[in-house]
Chain A
Amino acid sequence: KAGVTQTPRYLIKTRGQQVTLSCSPISGHRSVSWYQQTPGQGLQFLFEYFSETQRNKGNFPGRFSGRQFSNSRSEMNVSTLELGDSALYLCASSLNPGQGVAEAFFGQGTRLTVV
């Protein structure tokens, strides 16, 4: 069974630009979550989608947005990039984390560098 696939693996963008990151969950998983990982703040929850609906959102500005498609693939978008947005962005998929303990499986991440 293929794991969680994130593309691209590495990205370099300039301040003020926007970026779109993609995540393909494990087949059959309908929940996709996004996390930002930085040395200073650690792992922080961005948002979670299930069946194309955002169910939960972390404490991030509106420049961070996401969506989920009918095939459960998800994208996140960051507009007007700032230097502080440089981070490893991790996507996780699970069956349905709100019901019982559906463990999250993580992709390898997208390393975003803003210059």
Chain B
Amino acid sequence: AQSVTQLGSHVSVSEGALVLLRCNYSSSVPPYLFWYVQYPNQGLQLLLKYTTGATLVKGINGFEAEFKKSETSFHLTKPSAHMSDAAEYFCAVKGAGSYQLTFGKGTKLSVIP
């Protein structure tokens, strides 16, 4: 069984400030972890993924995430927020051999000019 918890349904940051979106997971098997972004009335776009190996993963648009097994976390960060980053972000987990993604409830990011 797998589950994902995203802390904070809404996060607001000022333009240029650090973005930190939190994700904790549980999985009975080694997990694969993903962050997706969704803009209004759009589908999901993959930002980055963790498979195995390097625990710091770099994605598109300047985002990165660090896999911490001891903390069962996969937090998403970006050093400097841009207005175009305003969207909803979803963390997802997939167990090895599984056919489905299990998503968190999402975090809506607002960027204040």
Contacts and interface: CB of A to CB of B under 8 A. Distances in A.
Interface string A21-50: 000000000010101000000110100101
A92 B90 CA distance: 15
Contact of A4 (B43, B51, B105): B43
Interface in B18-34: 32, 34
A103 B100 contact: no
A48 B45 CA distance: 19
A109 B103 CA distance: 16
Interface residues on B, range: 20 to 34
B102 to A, nearest CB: 7
B36 to A, nearest CB: 8
A59 B36 CA distance: 23
A97 to B, nearest CB: 5
A42 B49 contact: no
Contacts of B105: 42
Given A42-B106, A101-B49, A103-B34, A90 B44 contact: yes
A42 B104 CA distance: 8
Nearest to A99: B97
Contacts of A103: 34, 46, 49
Contacts of B51: 100-101
A43 B103 contact: yes
A61 interface: no
B82 interface: no
Contact of A48 (B46, B49, B99): B99
A4 B32 CA distance: 22
Contacts of A86: none
Contact of A33 (B42, B45, B90, B99): B99
B32 A31 contact: no
B84 interface: no
B101 interface: yes
5 A-B pairs with least C-beta separation = A106-B43, A43-B103, A106-B44, A56-B99, A101-B51
Interface of A: 4, 6, 31, 33, 35, 42-43, 45, 48, 50, 55-56, 58, 90, 92, 97-98, 100-101, 103-109, 111
